[in-house]
């Protein structure tokens, strides 16, 4: 029996309509991914802008380390308290207490002087590398170990800042800012997935899952190491291959969740979990069973987001059982510094 021709046309029309619908959905998915990539690119580009908006702030810090054995038995721990203030145009981390005991004035000043010296040296090397990359020549810091040729001036010889523009000379992020982005996020096209909208601390945020491909790859450091090896006449293809393999496996076994404030393109929280670390050697001796980290930001000043806390937790199995290591940083009591007077840390009693 010959079926009516219109039935064949109807089926053909349904096939064509289904194909058009599939292509439409595909185009929408590609468009949505493209929009998400563009959004995340802005998030990464604006990530470092906050500490530059309001640089005349000071704050306090609490650092804790806790190591526990099987049954949560305490093995070792330490508590330290610091305050951050500005000296010679640089953010300085000044120790106040260690395990509840006040740090002596001499030890505190020695710690501060060493800290400022290191930060000035790092800031200078960063400027050298930036200038070298712009000119295409190797930086002096890549050719030989850096020597601090600019020792700190005594306080009496330090020029007083004329205003806010001259108040901060530091170009690198202060450590309390860089510690919040310890994962060193960089834009990773096509590796994001929008989970949905959520409420976080009363704010409307976007929850984004990140499946990294570049998280554990520092291209700048790789280029610097390659230049150093070339200058030294070294060729280490095996070492490079091992590094690439470890980075790839670390990325593959990692899961990152970000909560982003959409209007400001600001990451206000992220969590990191390494779900697979079985590729590390020496599993018979130490077996890392889990790694978790989280970071949250706060808004101590209008339109300025700064770190609030950072948490790390690693568990591993040894012969005696499971051991857990925890490390935390808490930043609190942000306040504006007075640029017209020198800032001194009050003596702890």
| Residue 74 pLDDT | 93
Classified as helix, coil or strand, 172 is coil
| pLDDT tens digit sequence for 275-300 | 666 656 666 677 888 889 999 999 99
| Residue 27 pLDDT | 39
Average pLDDT over residues 121-132: 83
- pLDDT tier for residue 148 given thresholds of 50, 70 and 90: very low
| Residue 320 pLDDT | 85
Average pLDDT over residues 63-89: 93
Average pLDDT over residues 74-86: 95
Rounded Cα distance, 111 and 96, in Å: 11
* Lowest mean pLDDT across 15-19, 136-140, 222-226, 330-334: 15-19
133 vs 326, higher pLDDT: 326
Average pLDDT over residues 113-129: 88
- What is the residue-averaged pLDDT of the chain? 76
| Percentage with pLDDT > 70 across the chain | 63
| Residue 192 pLDDT | 92
Rounded Cα distance, 244 and 28, in Å: 35
170 and 179 Cβ atoms separated by less than 8 Å: no
Terminal CA-CA length for the chain: 103
| Residue 222 pLDDT | 59
| Residue 67 pLDDT | 95
Average pLDDT over residues 206-232: 70
| Whether this model's pTM surpasses 0.85 | no
- pLDDT tier for residue 9 given thresholds of 50, 70 and 90: low
What are the strands of the beta sheet with 266-274, ordered from one edge?
Answer: 101-102, 90-98, 74-87, 57-68, 321-336, 304-318, 287-301, 266-274, 254-261, 203-210, 192-200
| pLDDT tens digit sequence for 184-204 | 777 888 889 999 999 998 899
| pLDDT tens digit sequence for 267-281 | 999 998 876 666 566
175 and 165 Cβ atoms separated by less than 8 Å: no
Q: What angle do CA 19, 23, 28 make, to 5 degrees?
A: 150
342 and 91 Cβ atoms separated by less than 8 Å: no
| Residue 227 pLDDT | 64
DSSP characters over 245-313: HHHHHHHHTEEEEEEEETTTTEEEEEEEEE---TTSS-TTT-EEEEEEEEEEEEEEETTEEEEEEEEEE
């Amino acid at each position: 029996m010959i079926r009516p021709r219109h039935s064949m046309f109807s089926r053909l029309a349904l096939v064509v309509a289904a194909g058009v619908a599939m292509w439409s959905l595909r185009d929408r998915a590609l468009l949505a991914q493209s929009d998400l990539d563009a959004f995340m690119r802005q998030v990464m580009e604006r990530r470092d802008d906050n500490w530059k908006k309001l640089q005349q702030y000071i704050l306090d810090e609490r650092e804790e380390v806790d190591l526990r054995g099987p049954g949560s038995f305490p093995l070792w721990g330490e508590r330290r308290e610091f305050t951050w203030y500005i000296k010679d145009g640089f953010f300085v981390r000044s120790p106040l207490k260690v395990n509840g005991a006040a740090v002596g004035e001499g030890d505190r000043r020695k710690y501060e002087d060493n800290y400022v010296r290191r930060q000035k040296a790092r800031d200078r090397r960063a400027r050298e590398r930036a200038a070298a990359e712009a000119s295409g020549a190797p930086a002096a810091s890549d050719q030989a170990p850096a020597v601090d040729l600019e020792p700190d001036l005594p306080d009496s010889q330090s020029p007083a800042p004329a205003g806010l523009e001259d108040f901060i000379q530091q170009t690198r992020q202060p450590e309390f800012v860089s510690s919040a982005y310890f994962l060193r996020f960089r834009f990773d096209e096509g590796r994001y997935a929008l989970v949905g909208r959520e409420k976080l601390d009363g704010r409307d945020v976007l929850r984004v899952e990140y499946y990294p491909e570049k998280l554990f790859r520092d291209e700048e450091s790789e280029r610097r190491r390659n230049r150093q090896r070339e200058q030294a006449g070294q060729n280490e293809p095996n070492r490079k291959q091992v590094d690439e393999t470890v980075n790839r496996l670390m990325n593959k076994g990692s899961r990152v969740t970000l909560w982003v404030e959409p209007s400001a393109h600001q990451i206000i929280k992220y969590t990191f979990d390494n779900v697979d670390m079985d590729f590390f050697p020496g599993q018979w001796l130490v077996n890392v069973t889990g790694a978790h980290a989280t970071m949250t930001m706060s808004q101590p000043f209008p339109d300025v987001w700064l770190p609030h806390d950072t948490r790390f937790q690693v568990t591993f199995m040894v012969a005696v059982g499971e051991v857990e290591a925890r490390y935390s940083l808490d930043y609190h009591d942000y306040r504006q510094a007075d640029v017209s007077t020198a800032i001194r840390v009050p003596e702890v009693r």
